[in-house]
Amino acid sequence: MRVGEYLSEKLYIGRAIIAGSMEDGKPVLAYILTGRSHESQNRHIVKDLNELRVESYDEKAMDILREYPMSISIPVRRIIGNGSHTLEIAEKVNAGHTFIEALGDIYPEPDKYKTPRIALLYNLEDSSYSMGIVREGEKAVWNYKKMNGYSHIIQTYNGDGDISSFDQDPVLLSLAKSLEELKEEIWFSLNREYRVSVYLSDGIDEIILNKREV
């Protein structure tokens, strides 16, 4: 199944991370931000040096569940996550801890849905990657080797209309032939009412789409 096919079948996925390799071997890293409330919709992805952040358009918001470091670069690796744990994982991995060890002190978000924390550790040298989720009562990690033309997606909610925590393994999906194609496929497959921002990278080039800016 293609990325676009998968996303078009989902009503509301919350946040999602996609990782894999293009047919030509280039890395693929993507982050999808969707939201239902005004506060969740009132956000965008911004780049600040080697860090990408999800921030509110309202400077007074200061909501740590809605504003956070989304992507952090450390030597030959990238960490992507849907909350403040992104920084914690980056610091621990950079200090020599394993990915599963870095998830050790992380818990689901303290909201009424107990929203899972999701995270990616991507090795830019060989395009291997690890995906992790921290949901109520469970921490899980999956490790993948490079497979050209394919990716995996992990998300916070199942996407069927219920706000139920994602309860599957990451889903294997085939990729478009270019980053530009993938951008179009993702953006136009997301529910128009809920889509907020999309970030894509091939390890060098980056694309950011923010709903209020496109």
208: CATH: 3.60.20.20
Residues 155-172, mean pLDDT to the nearest whole number: 93
User: Which residue from 63, 62, 163, 68 is spatially nearest to 116, judged by alpha carbons?
Assistant: 163
Residue 43: its pLDDT value, please?
95
**What's residue 61's pLDDT?**
63
Which pLDDT does position 63 carry in this prediction?
Answer: 72
Do 158 and 6 meet the contact criterion of CB atoms below 8 Å apart? no
pTM for the whole thing? 0.96
Residue 60 has pLDDT above 70, yes or no: no
What is the rounded average pLDDT of the residues 27-53? 93
pLDDT at 191 over 70: yes
Q: How far apart are CA 16 and CA 37, in angstroms?
A: 17
Total number of domains constituting the chain: 1
Give the pLDDT mean for 92-119. 95
Return mean pLDDT, the chain: 94
Q: For residue 161, what pLDDT is reported?
A: 77
CA distance 23 to 42: 35
C-beta separation of 1 from 174 below 8 A:
yes
Provide the domain limits for residue 27. 3-213
